[in-house]
Chain A
Amino acid sequence: DQQVKQNSPSLSVQEGRISILNCDYTNSMFDYFLWYKKYPAEGPTFLISISSIKDKNEDGRFTVFLNKSAKHLSLHIVPSQPGDSAVYFCAARDAGGTSYGKLTFGQGTILTVHP
């Protein structure tokens, strides 16, 4: 049962353009959503988060949008840079019952930004 899904295994964009990474979820008990970036041979690093009571959060070049009715979130990177090339994971925190605090991750999307 995949509660958090990233349906695009990979995304390729040109430097300077917008990168849009998507994530869908099924559990209505998630209260926070997070995006992590991972380079090879390193652990994931936290990028940006959004509370379930918000619909947008912005931090520099990174913006996360949340559509609760569609159970969908997206990460926008503008402008994209070659250094952004990495695997991006979305994650959701469970606010319900015995699973409180548990993070569930998607499968990841490989972003490649071409110079």
Chain B
Amino acid sequence: KAGVTQTPRYLIKTRGQQVTLSCSPISGHRSVSWYQQTPGQGLQFLFEYFSETQRNKGNFPGRFSGRQFSNSRSEMNVSTLELGDSALYLCASSGGGNSYEQYFGPGTRLTVT
């Protein structure tokens, strides 16, 4: 079974621009969660999608948004990029329901200059 894939792996953007990151979950998984990892902050939860609906949301500003498609693939969008948005963005998939194990992709390294 193929793992979680994320594209692109690396991205450099300028302050004020917007960016869209993509995540393809493990086949059969219906839940996709997004996290931001910065040094010293661990993994900060952004949001979770299950069956195309946002099920949980973290404490991030409205510039961060996401969506999930009928094939469970998910996208995350960040508008009006700030320097502080530079981070590793990780997505994780799980079977949903009562399944608690999440399987992570390799992440997208976003650098905002």
Contact = CB atoms under 8 A, between A and B. Distances in A.
Interface stretch (B61-69, B74-82, B102-110): B102-110
A89 B107 contact: no
A28 B102 CA distance: 21
Given A102-B45, A103-B45, A43 B100 contact: no
B35 A34 contact: no
Given A43-B107, A44-B90, A108 B42 contact: yes
Nearest to B47: A102
Nearest to A46: B101
B12 interface: no
Given A43-B106, A44-B90, A101-B55, A106 B48 contact: no
The size class of the interface chain A forms with chain B is 20 to 34
A105 B43 contact: yes
Interface of A: 6, 9, 32, 34, 36, 41-46, 49, 89, 91, 93, 98-108
Given A32-B100, A43-B90, A101-B48, 16 more contacts: A41-B106, A42-B106, A44-B104, A45-B104, A46-B102, A91-B43, A93-B100, A101-B100, A102-B45, A102-B48, A102-B56, A103-B102, A104-B45, A105-B44, A107-B42, A108-B43
8 contacts: A49-B101, A99-B56, A101-B100, A103-B33, A103-B100, A104-B45, A105-B35, A105-B44
Interface of B: 4, 31, 33, 35, 40-45, 48, 55-56, 90, 92, 100-107
